[in-house]
């Protein structure tokens, strides 16, 4: 009886000790959004995959309808964009095509992940032509 219990314990410890880590950390975040002129926007993405951080600045066109910006080929959307002096509020949505964009930043396939929408409070850090550069300072997840 003692021999069988010891054998089970050793087998269990071997299984636990040999178990490989199968999860990986992935995070796609946005640092700032800049509306440069009447047709060009810039978004700084910070993408972390395990311990690798990559920053990628996307310069692309945008479309404005009412107070809603669609940036790139449905990469991100800023809805209900309102400005009061040096503060802006908007809802930030990751678009349908953002997954392909993020995957292109890494050589290996990315784990399944979510791009969660958030309500943002941003502060103007650069002014000039157009709407300006907006550093996101507060986020609150939309939904869920």
- For residue 61, what pLDDT is reported? 94
Query: Burial of 56 by CB count in 10 Å (0-12 exposed, 13-18 middle, 19+ buried)?
Result: middle
Q: pTM of the entire structure?
A: 0.71
Q: Which helix (H) or strand (E) holds 87?
A: strand 87-94
Say which DSSP state 98 is in: H
Report pLDDT digits (tens) over 65-109: 999 999 988 888 999 999 998 899 999 998 887 777 767 766 667
Among the ranges 24-28, 42-46, 110-114, which has the highest mean pLDDT value? Answer: 42-46
- What is the four-CA torsion angle of 71, 97, 90, 32, rounded to 10 degrees? -70
> Is residue 124 pLDDT above 80, yes or no?
yes
Closest CA to 131 of 36, 47, 64: 36
Task: Give me the pLDDT at residue 78, please.
Answer: 93
């Amino acid at each position: 009886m003692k021999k069988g219990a010891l054998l089970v314990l050793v087998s269990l410890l071997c299984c636990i000790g040999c178990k490989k880590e199968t999860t990986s950390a992935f995070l796609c975040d946005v640092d700032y959004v800049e509306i440069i002129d009447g047709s060009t926007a810039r978004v700084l993405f910070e993408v972390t995959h395990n311990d690798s951080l990559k920053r990628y600045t996307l310069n692309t066109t945008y479309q404005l309808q009412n107070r809603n910006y669609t940036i790139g080929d449905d990469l991100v959307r800023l809805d209900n964009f309102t400005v009061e002096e040096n503060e802006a509020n908007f809802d930030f949505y990751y678009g349908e095509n953002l997954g392909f964009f993020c995957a292109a930043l890494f050589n290996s396939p990315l784990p399944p992940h979510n791009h969660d929408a958030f309500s943002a409070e941003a502060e103007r850090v650069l002014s000039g032509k157009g709407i300006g550069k907006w550093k996101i300072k507060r986020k609150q997840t939309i939904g869920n």
